[in-house]
Structure 1
Amino acid sequence: MTTALKALFIVAGLFLVYKLIFSAKKGLTLFEMHFKEGRLTSHKGKIQQKFERECRAIAKQEKLTCTVRAERNGDVRLHVSANVPESTIQHIRNMFPFEYYEKKQVDNSRQTG
């Protein structure tokens, strides 16, 4: 009986630790671009054309294999894979149009006539 109770507490503790570590709230992903050896292999979401062109140029020049992702969790945050040099990440951040993604989007689907 006591062994089963101890096992139950251990399982409950492990579950609680798992939830605390892995269930951190992530924001809404605005877009994601995947590059492999300097070429854009896949993308999803709404990406401003000028930013996409500039990212493609940088990735091609640097032969990058990485992911560039923008999330909105209150404010807009840009994430670039950790294997990219800091100077290149800063260059991408400087080009990113934060004001384009931070402005309020009007939702026309709920308007009443």
Structure 2
Amino acid sequence: MTPTVLKIIFIAIGIVLAYKLIFSGKKGLSIFEMHFKDGRLASHKGKIPEKFQKECRAIAKAEKLTCSVRCEKVGTVRLHVSANVSDDITQRIRNLFPFEYYDKKQVDNSRQAG
């Protein structure tokens, strides 16, 4: 009876490990999300740069977009646009995004060599 129990435990551990490896994709810190529906900003979350939000709303209104734009930080800042948006509009949105605003390095002045 003991070998059967050990086999069941090892199989259960294997299934748990496989599940963790497959479904535990590391997500980064979400900076903001914007959801557009028929060219209007339906909902938003987080701190969105004002100029970027205004220009994205103009593009969405002109193109009657239904999509989401999401920014997350995983080491570096990444901008995600829904797959149902054409590549040229996605590129226009990426060109508007102020990446340099988020890529500023924090200088630690507490320990300066003297």
Q: If the TM-score is normalised by the length of the shorter chain, which range does it land in?
A: 0.7 to 0.9
Q: After TM superposition, give the deviation of residue 89 of structure 1 in Å.
A: 0.7
Residue 61 (str. 1) matches residue 62 (str. 2): yes
Secondary structure at the counterpart of residue 83 of structure 1: coil
CA distance in 2, matches of 1:7, 1:42: 48
CA distance in 2, matches of 1:21, 1:62: 37
TM-score by structure 2 length? Answer: 0.81
Letter in 1 for 2:31: L
Unpaired runs of at least 5, structure 1: 107-113
* Map of 2:88 onto structure 1: 87
Q: After TM superposition, give the deviation of residue 25 of structure 1 in Å.
A: 1.6
Secondary structure at the counterpart of residue 27 of structure 2: coil
Larger radius of gyration: 2
TM-score by structure 1 length? Answer: 0.81
Unpaired runs of at least 5, structure 2: 108-114
Q: After TM superposition, give the deviation of residue 4 of structure 1 in Å.
A: 5.0
Q: After TM superposition, give the deviation of residue 56 of structure 1 in Å.
A: 0.6
* Map of 1:100 onto structure 2: 101
Q: After TM superposition, give the deviation of residue 11 of structure 1 in Å.
A: 3.1
CA distance in 1, matches of 2:72, 2:26: 11
Percent identity between matched residues is 70
- CA change 1:49–1:8 in 2 (3 A) is same
CA distance in 1, matches of 2:66, 2:5: 49
- CA change 1:61–1:7 in 2 (3 A) is farther
Give me the CA root mean square deviation.
1.9
Letter in 1 for 2:12: V
List aligned pairs for 1:67-82, cutoff 5 A. Answer: 67-82=68-83
